[in-house]
Amino acid sequence: MKNGLDTDISINIDGVDIRWDLTKGGLDFLGTSSTLFWNDPSLLNMFRPLVHEIGKDMFRLQVAHSSSLGTDEDYDVMVTQLGETFEEGFLNWGKAVGAAGWGTFEIEDIDPEKCRAKVIVRDPWELHMQKRLDSSESWGCPFIQGKIIGIFSSAFKSTCWADEKYYLEEDDLRVEFDIYLHELTIEEELEKFRKRRENEKIQALEKIIEEKIKERDELLEKNKAQEEHLLIRSRMAQMGEMISMIAHQWRQPLNAISSASINLQMKLELETFDLEKPEERAACTDYYAKRLRAIDGYVQNMTTTIDDFRNFYKPNKKSVRLKLEDIISRSLNIIQASLVADKIAIIEEYDSPDEIEVYDTELLQVILNLLKNSQDNFKEKKTKDPYIKIMTDEKRISICDNGGGIPEDVIEKIFDPYFSTKGEKNGTGLGLYMSKTIVERHHDGTLSVENHDDAHGAVLGACFTIELGTSSP
């Protein structure tokens, strides 16, 4: 090829006309351009989704890197077989590959000392394949770009790059390459791009995680506010019941105070004591002192009850350390008179000597709710000889009764919000839901229920168990 080649060759093989136009870079079979092989729709349909999937930049670098492999051998052929100089060998190589539809190669400018050059390729197969695509979809000529970068890097004996500018006009399909020295090889550029893409993915993922965390925090805040609202609503729903409990609790000490005051008044009116005598004055003083101390005790009992009631409705978010028996005692101090009035026996078995950290007001609400539910159930079912058994074991509180248990078809639903077995007039459906919320979310524990049987295997009643997860001292 050093002596030149015919620019237009036509031959016939077994009746097949073949025309090879080296000037235009074309090879025809039976009058059909070989570029149709490159422009087959299946090839375009394979590349287009791939470009969309991995992105133009990654696709171009991948293709350019693949096509650059072996270009050192192409360069050796150019300078040893195809021409006296690199430029002549490159153009003859261009004519050869142009015959397969690669296009017509031109060197517009070259400066080996500065390692710069400009190459134009007209009618390349890559642009023929993309000429019907929108500019936003086209991806240029990375295959030829990789060849150009590899060949000129060998020619200049330095790492080069080729910036590409292509034109997709119907009568002007061409691509121009500006070649210059570059710090990185295609493989290094590809690795750099991969790392950048990886960092972008990490940053995008971090942003998504941040947004999800923000959404979670907002949801938690919203749920917390809703939970606080339900807690207040649940307490307000219990206010009427609490007032009734206090009325029962106060009835006995008020009666005792009234009786003691009447007794003292009668002693004075009847002049029971002869205050002229020293021994009678001493007896009178002792008698009145005992009665007044009793009245003071009744008042202290009433004060404790009203303090417990006041603390129950006081918004308190500070945890305290105390024994479980103390919380149960405060609960019973509020409700016990009401239970006694309904002839409900209380059985207490305590085995929790250590103090634990709890939100006492909230746990008091849970215990009161469970006790009141048993009381209401006894009234509804007219239970004979009703009793409530309260037991503690380390961090566990069990409250069991003999009220006949909970129907199996609703026992799984009783902790759901707004679910009630008492009917609209007697229940809000929030008591057990809030009790479970208080135990699980505020005390890292569990609240569960199961029916327990009597000695004959019949359902005796329900047993609620509070397991607290807070640490002992």
CATH of the domain at 315: 3.30.565.10
The per-residue pLDDT for range 328-347, each reduced to its tens digit, is 988 888 788 788 888 999 99
Average pLDDT over residues 85-103: 88
Asked whether the beta carbons of 129 and 143 are under 8 A apart, the reply is no
| pLDDT score of 15 more than 70 | no
Q: What is the pLDDT of residue 265?
A: 81
Same domain, 224 and 343: yes
Same domain, 355 and 291: yes
Q: Does 164 map to a domain?
A: yes
pLDDT category, 132, cuts 50, 70, 90?
confident
Same domain, 172 and 226: no
User: Of 183, 207, 239, which marks where a domain is finished?
Assistant: 183
Q: What is the largest CA-CA distance in the chain?
A: 158
Q: Does 306 map to a domain?
A: yes
Q: What is the pLDDT of residue 416?
A: 80
What mean pLDDT is reported for the chain?
82
pLDDT category, 248, cuts 50, 70, 90?
low
Asked whether the beta carbons of 25 and 102 are under 8 A apart, the reply is yes
Q: How far is the C-alpha of 420 from the C-alpha of 440, rounded, in Å?
A: 20
Q: Which two tokens stand for residue 30?
A: 């039976």
Which tops the pLDDT comparison, 472 or 364? 364
Q: Does 400 map to a domain?
A: yes
Q: What is the pLDDT of residue 97?
A: 85
Same domain, 19 and 136: yes
Same domain, 161 and 242: no
Same domain, 57 and 153: yes
Q: What is the pLDDT of residue 348?
A: 94
pLDDT category, 242, cuts 50, 70, 90?
low
* Of the candidates 448, 443, 390, the residue with the CA atom closest to the CA atom of residue 415: 448
Which tops the pLDDT comparison, 231 or 396? 396
Instruction: Give the list of residues 6+ apart from residue 63 with CB closer than 8 angstroms, or none.
Output: 142, 143, 146
* Of the candidates 336, 341, 339, 334, the residue with the CA atom closest to the CA atom of residue 313: 334
Q: How far is the C-alpha of 61 from the C-alpha of 139, rounded, in Å?
A: 11
Average pLDDT over residues 184-201: 89
User: Of 131, 163, 183, which marks where a domain is finished?
Assistant: 183
Same domain, 305 and 391: yes
Q: What is the pLDDT of residue 332?
A: 87
In terms of Cβ atoms closer than 10 Å to its own Cβ (0-12, 13-18, 19+), residue 196 is exposed
| pLDDT score of 82 more than 80 | yes
* Of the candidates 152, 164, 169, 180, the residue with the CA atom closest to the CA atom of residue 63: 164
User: Of 164, 183, 202, which marks where a domain is finished?
Assistant: 183
pLDDT category, 472, cuts 50, 70, 90?
very low
Q: Does 188 map to a domain?
A: no
Q: Model pTM greater than 0.85? A: no
Q: How far is the C-alpha of 64 from the C-alpha of 344, rounded, in Å?
A: 89
Q: What's the CATH code of the domain at 70?
A: 3.30.1380.20
Question: H helices within 157-277, ranges in order?
Answer: 186-269
Q: How far is the C-alpha of 326 from the C-alpha of 397, rounded, in Å?
A: 12
Q: What is the pLDDT of residue 245?
A: 63
Average pLDDT over residues 456-472: 79
Same domain, 436 and 300: yes
CA atoms within 13 A on the CB side of 128: 20
Helix (H) or strand (E) holding 146: helix 142-156
Residue type, 375: Q
Same domain, 137 and 237: no
Q: Does 204 map to a domain?
A: no
| Range in 28-37, 188-197, 275-284, 321-330 the model is least confident about | 28-37
Q: How far is the C-alpha of 140 from the C-alpha of 148, rounded, in Å?
A: 14
Q: Does 77 map to a domain?
A: yes
Q: Does 192 map to a domain?
A: no
Which tops the pLDDT comparison, 342 or 264? 342
pLDDT category, 424, cuts 50, 70, 90?
very low
Same domain, 179 and 237: no
Q: Give residue 250's domain range.
A: 219-467
Same domain, 285 and 169: no
| Range in 21-35, 81-95, 298-312 the model is least confident about | 21-35
- Residue 202 Cα distances to 15, 56, 197, 199, 239, angstroms: 61, 20, 9, 5, 54
Q: How far is the C-alpha of 143 from the C-alpha of 132, rounded, in Å?
A: 19
| Range in 296-305, 335-344, 373-382 the model is least confident about | 296-305
Domains contained in the chain, number: 2
Q: What is the pLDDT of residue 235?
A: 61
Q: Which residues lie across from 347 on neighbouring strands?
A: 389
Same domain, 240 and 323: yes
Q: Does 227 map to a domain?
A: yes
The per-residue pLDDT for range 205-240, each reduced to its tens digit, is 999 999 999 998 888 888 777 777 766 666 665 666
The per-residue pLDDT for range 175-191, each reduced to its tens digit, is 999 999 999 889 998 89
